[in-house]
């Protein structure tokens, strides 16, 4: 996985006239090691509207309980996606996979289900545990859930609680991001109106939502992480101190 020093994000103007400031590098500029097969993580996928770029992003917890974002793969085209998804699914056995079926990633739903990554059944009021969430499922958020995910991601960054590897794909995506309304009070990332490939940002947003929704399924490891209060080494992680100013 690509890691490197984070760079400050340049503000860009969204369609509502508000400023979107990038993940601004602070005093703590640290490198993360590569993702490990035993890491607790949700993995999300996004494809740009023109299908010219795609991103696979993992979001997991650090030893201190902070969400950590890693781009596992990001590249041109889409033909590489399914082989890579299957490889990562076997290697990491993630808590869940996440994608937005209102995006170009909708074309992955059937191929993923055919290869055993089954879509989480629609939730019902009876809260039947057999319907989900269950480990390894494919979660497709509703429009409302996607809007909430964008808000939660923004709040997490504003609070300085997001850890990432300083990978250029994410910072460039945030630089070029714009928003679009999803109803009264909700908004989503605007794929068609952004000035850059924002697939890593969309995938990171979905991955964080998936981790929040599925992390209770690995309670034993989550508890072990919670009691580990040791300070990471200087090369263990990068924690930005910037914010998304919307």
* Among the listed residues 111, 98, 112, 132, the one whose alpha carbon sits nearest the alpha carbon of residue 204: 98
The CA distance from 32 to 233, in Å, is: 10
Cβ pair 96, 214 in contact under 8 A: yes
Q: Name the more confident of 33 and 245.
A: 33
What are the tens digits of pLDDT across the range 176-235? 888 889 877 899 998 887 678 999 999 999 999 999 998 877 655 545 444 443 434 434
Least confident of 35-39, 90-94, 137-141, 196-200: 35-39
The pTM for the full model equals 0.76
pLDDT tens string 31-80: 455 666 557 899 999 999 999 999 999 999 888 888 999 999 999 999 99
Alpha-carbon distance 43 to 207, whole Å? 6
**Whether 45 contacts 82, CB under 8 Å:** no
């Amino acid at each position: 996985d690509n890691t490197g020093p984070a760079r400050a994000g340049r503000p860009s103007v969204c369609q509502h006239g508000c400023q979107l400031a990038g993940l601004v590098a602070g005093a703590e500029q640290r490198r993360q090691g590569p993702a490990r097969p035993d890491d607790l993580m949700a993995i999300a996928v996004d494809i740009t509207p023109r299908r010219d770029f795609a991103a696979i992003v993992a979001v997991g917890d650090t030893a201190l309980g902070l969400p950590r974002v890693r781009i596992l793969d990001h590249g041109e085209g889409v033909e590489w996606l399914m082989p890579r998804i299957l490889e990562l699914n076997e290697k990491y056995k993630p808590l869940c996979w996440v994608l937005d079926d209102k995006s170009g990633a909708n074309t992955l739903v059937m191929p993923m289900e055919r290869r055993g990554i089954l879509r989480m059944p629609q939730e019902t009021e009876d809260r039947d545990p057999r319907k989900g969430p269950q480990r390894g499922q494919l979660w497709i958020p509703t429009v409302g859930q996607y809007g909430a995910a964008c808000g939660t991601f923004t709040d997490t960054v504003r609070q300085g609680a997001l850890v990432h590897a300083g990978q250029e794909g994410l910072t460039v995506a945030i630089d070029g991001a714009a928003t679009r309304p999803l109803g009264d009070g909700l908004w989503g990332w605007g794929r068609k109106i952004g000035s850059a490939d924002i697939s890593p940002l969309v995938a990171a947003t979905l991955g964080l939502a998936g981790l929040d929704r599925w992390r209770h399924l690995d309670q034993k490891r989550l508890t072990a992480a919670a009691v580990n209060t040791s300070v990471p080494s200087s090369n263990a992680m990068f924690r930005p101190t910037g914010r998304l100013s919307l």
